[in-house]
Amino acid sequence: MCSMAAHLYCSNKFLHKQLTDATMKVLVDINHPAHVHYFRNFARIMHREGHDIAFVARDKEMAHRLLSLYGIAYQGRGRGKSSKVGKFLYLLYADLRLLQISQQFKPDVYLNFLHPYPSQVARLLGKTSLVFSDTEHASLHHILTVPFATKVYTPSCYRLDLGPKHVRFNGYMELAYLHPNYFTPNPDILLRLGLSQHEPYVIVRFVSWAAAHDYGHTGMTLANKRRAVELMARYARVFITSEGELPDDLEAYRIKIPFDMMHDAIYYSSLLFGESATMASEAAVLGTPSIFMDNDGRGYTDDEEHKYGLVFNFKETDQGQQNAIAQAIEILQDRSNSKKFKEKREVLLADCIDTTQFMVDQVMQYENT
């Protein structure tokens, strides 16, 4: 997925060697697998410049596997809990775990995507906490994080005003790893999928709706999932990626590729269809049209629809699901769409900054403070 040069930073021996002459020490806390992608190129650049980076990671889904894949050493902070009481107890545990790690590593700056633990510990220790976010409806995390953070960075299209700590940037989180500076698509994915070079295919994404900000959401009905797959399969091969179990008839469509090749699969696909905002935006910045269903929506997927026509947003209502399926069929019926959407990507890239370089620039403002 990345060039050989981009992988040179992956050696545990070098990335997490505590350098006696390191200018800065940055603790990066990972709460979700996507966060690995957000910060891995930042870590490579900062290490190259002589800074010391430590990763701490919750054991959620494939977060630890991704860190290991990229050769990033890390310390764990447990799996977390699903109940409300369990989440509160885990907050206390995670804060204590980060405090223990901080006493050893002595970070100057804490960096993470919106979740409370690093910011709370940073405030306790009088250190800088820099937080990135793009999810407006994560209200509980806002309450538990923003008061303790030094600054909170969001895409310029973010719907909320978070006050004087809020800094907006002209870009998307997915450009931290899918910007052309860091990502080159690998056509070998077509062989992995058993596809010919120009054979159309769709990536379908179903989520578990188990995150804290997913309460009250149900996603697509099983009947509409089946209908969507059946209709799209008339025009393209269908591959499903799902956080949860699938019934046997849909399980037959589950994609079977190395998990680090998913972005290659999205790049060459004709359409991304599903319930994940992150994957919808990943598709958009890769020039693949995406359909996203969610009652809350996101400022960034709205932006990618209204500015670039790369995302199509729909509600979770039955009518919204039916409209999403109809939109998918319309896209797949027009075989000339591929070139059109890749051209839209070029416009997007011209408008947006390199999110990783922005992170580096922001963290470096706190050098010697």
Tell me what the mean pLDDT of segment 182-189 comes to. Answer: 98
pLDDT at 215 over 80: no
Query: 19: pLDDT confidence band, cut at 50, 70 and 90?
Result: very low
What band does 214 get if pLDDT is binned at 50, 70 and 90?
Answer: very low
pTM for the structure as a whole: 0.89
Residue count (the chain): 369
Q: What is the pLDDT of residues 21-34, one digit of tens each?
A: 558 999 999 999 99
Give the C-alpha separation, 197 to 42, whole Å.
34
Q: What is the pLDDT of residues 246-285, one digit of tens each?
A: 999 999 999 999 989 999 999 999 999 999 999 999 999 9
Query: Could you give the count of Cα atoms lying within 13 Å of 56 in the half-sphere of its Cβ?
Result: 25
Instruction: Please write the tens of the pLDDT for every residue from 155-166.
Output: 999 999 999 999
Q: Is the pLDDT of residue 7 over 60?
A: no
Asked if 219 contacts 316 with a C-beta cutoff of 8 angstroms, the reply is: yes
Amino acid 21: pLDDT: 52
Residue 360 has pLDDT above 70, yes or no: yes
Q: Is the pLDDT of residue 303 over 90?
A: yes
Helices and strands of the chain, counted as H and E runs: 17, 12
Distance CA 177, CA 322 (A): 33
Percent of the chain exceeding pLDDT 70 equals 91
Per the model's pLDDT, the better-predicted residue between 191 and 18 turns out to be 191
State the pLDDT confidence band at 211, using cuts at 50, 70 and 90. very low
Residue 9 has pLDDT above 50, yes or no: no
pLDDT surpassing 80 at residue 367 = yes
219 contacts 293 by C-beta, under 8 angstroms = yes
Q: What is the mean pLDDT of residues 164-175?
A: 98
Give the orientation angle of helix 277-285 with respect to helix 299-306, to 10 degrees: 30
pLDDT 10s digits, 222-236:
999 999 999 999 999
Q: Which residues of 191-213 are buried (b: 16+ CB within 10 A; e: fewer)?
A: eebebeeeebbbbbbbbebebeb
Kindly indicate the confidence band of residue 368, based on its pLDDT and cuts at 50, 70 and 90: confident
- Segment 306-352, tens digit of pLDDT: 999 999 999 999 999 999 999 999 999 998 888 999 999 999 999 99
Q: Which two tokens stand for residue 242?
A: 């799902």
Domains (ranges, CATH) in the chain?
4-171+353-364 (3.40.50.2000), 188-351 (3.40.50.2000)
Confidence of residue 208 (pLDDT cuts 50, 70, 90): low
